[in-house]
Amino acid sequence: MTKRYGQAIAVDSISLKIPAGTYCCLLGPSGCGKSSTLRMIAGHEDVSDGDILLGNTVVNDLPPARRGTAMMFQNYALFPHLDCVDNVAFSLKMKGVGKTERRARALDMLRLVDMQDYAARLPSQLSGGQQQRVALARALITGPSVLLLDEPLSALDPFLRAKMREELKRLQKELGISFIHVTHSQEEAMALADLVVVMNKGRIEQADTAREVFNHPRTAFVARFIGGHNILQDNGRTISVRADRASLAPPAAGESGFAGTVRAVEYLGSVVHVGVSRAGNGAAEADGFLVAIPENRFFTAPVAPGDPVTVSWKLEDVHVLEE
C-alpha cells in the first residue's frame, strides 16, 4: 500500500504494507498525518498521488462503501434520530435489505458487542462506552476486511479505555480481519498493535512490532515519542539508553556513565523515576536523564533532589539512533 498526498503535504510519500489480519496502530503526535492517512484509506479524503491497494485491488477511486473498509469515527457519529438497531442496520438499509432481515442481522451484531439489551435505545440515551460498542457494531455489519478506527478510545475515561482496549483486541482476533487504529497514545499502541507505525510530519519514522519499536527505536523522534528512553550525544553519535536499564551506581567495567545531581524524584508505584542533571553541562541536555528504578530497589538506597549521584549503564544497552 503506497500513497502520496500533495498539496500542503499532510502525508508525504509514505509506503506501508499491512499483512492481512494485522492489528496496526498509526501512532504520532497531532498533525503528523495519521488521521489523513486513515481517511484516505477510508475514502473520505482524496489521494493526491500514489495508490491504495486492498488485497490486489487499487481502491483509490472507489466510494468508501465499495472498498471493503469500514470506519469508526472519533465521536462515534451515531445517527441521533435512529435507535441502536436502525443505526447498526443502516448500511443494510442502504443496500435495500428487507426490514425484518436487516433488523435480525443488526441484533446479531449488537449481541457480538454485548449491546442487545439496549437495541431500542437512542444514542443519546447511552453512555460513551455503549455508544462506542454500537458504533463498532455498525462498522462491522458491512463485513469489512479492514476496520479503520480514528482515535476510538480518546473520549473514554481511563478505566473504560483499558476495558475497551481488551475488547478491541479480542474482536480483532475473533474476526481475523485487519484493524487500523489511529492513536496518539503510545501506551495504547504498544498494548494493542501487532504493527506499530510511528509517524511524524507526514512521514513514517518506523513501522515494526511494539517490542522492536521500544527496544530499537530507529530515530531520536521515535525514542522520544515512545517514552522511557534517554537520548544522548556520544562521540558524534546519537544514542539512546532505556531509563529502566540505567542505574544509580558508579560505572563498573564494561559500563558507561556520568556524575550529576538529582533534579526530581517521582514515585509512580511499581517504579520510581529519578531525574538527573549532568554535572557541568545541564544546559546541553535540557531533558535531563531519567532513571527508572523498581520501587523496592529505590528504597534500599533512596535519593532526594539535590543529592549528588552517579548514573551508569551497560555498554550493551546503548542503542545507536539514525540521524
Task: Report the residue number, 143 or 227, with the smaller CB distance to another protein.
Answer: 143
78 vs 293 by CB, closer to another protein: 78
Q: Does 8 bind another protein (CB under 8 A)?
A: no
Q: Which of 70, 109, 110, 272 binds another protein (CB under 8 A)?
A: 70
- Helix/strand/coil percentages in the chain, nearest 5: 35, 30, 35
Contact 106, 92 (CB under 8 A): yes
Residue closer to another protein, measured from CB, 33 or 43 = 43
CB-wise, 156 or 246, nearer to another protein? 156
Q: Which residues in the 77-96 window bind another protein by CB under 8 A? A: 77-81, 90-91, 93-95
Among residues 39 and 218, whose Cβ is nearest to another protein?
39
Q: How far is the CB of 76 from another protein (least distance, A)?
A: 9
Q: Does 158 bind another protein (CB under 8 A)?
A: no
Distance CA(103)–CA(111), nearest Å, equals 12
63 makes contact with another protein (CB under 8 A)? yes
- CB-nearer residue toward another protein: 65 or 191: 65
Radius of gyration from C-alpha coordinates of the chain: 24
Stretch that binds another protein, among 74-82, 109-117, 164-172, 203-211 (CB under 8 A): 74-82
- 44 exposure class (CB count in 10 Å sphere: 0-12, 13-18, 19+): middle
Distance CA(114)–CA(81), nearest Å, equals 22
Question: Is residue 299 packed enough to be buried (19+ CB in 10 Å), middle (13-18) or exposed (0-12)?
Answer: exposed
Angle at 314 between CA 312 and CA 315, to 5 degrees: 115
Least CB distance to another protein at residue 43 (A): 8
- The owner of cell 477511486 is 61
Quick count: other Cβ atoms within 10 Å of Cβ 317?
Answer: 15
Locus of grid cell 475488547 = 167
Should residue 44 be labelled a site residue for another protein when binding is judged by CB under 8 A? Answer: yes
Work out which of 15, 57, 75, 209 binds another protein, going by CB under 8 A.
Answer: 75
Shortest distance, position 96 Cβ to another protein, whole Å: 10
Out of 34, 102, 138, 319, the residue judged to bind another protein by CB under 8 A: 138
Asked if 121 is part of the footprint of another protein (rule: CB under 8 A), the reply reads: no
145 lies in the binding site for another protein (CB under 8 A)? no
Phi, psi of 267 (to 5 degrees): -90, 120
Segment interacting with another protein, rule: CB under 8 A, options 11-19, 39-47, 109-117, 247-255? 39-47
Does 273 help bind another protein (rule: CB under 8 A)?
no
- In the complex with another protein, the residue whose CB is nearer, 47 or 290, is 47
C-beta separation of 68 from 145 below 8 A: yes
Residue 133 lies near another protein (rule: CB under 8 A): no
The Cβ of residue 287 has, within 10 Å, a number of other Cβ atoms equal to 11
Q: Contact, 23 vs 178, CB < 8 A? A: yes
Does position 73 bind another protein by CB under 8 A?
A: yes
In whole angstroms, what is the distance from residue 215 CA to residue 186 CA?
Answer: 14
Can you read off the three cell numbers belonging to residue 10? 499532510
Q: What is the contact surface with another protein in residues (CB under 8 A)? A: 42-44, 63-66, 70-71, 73-75, 77-81, 90-91, 93-95, 138-139, 142
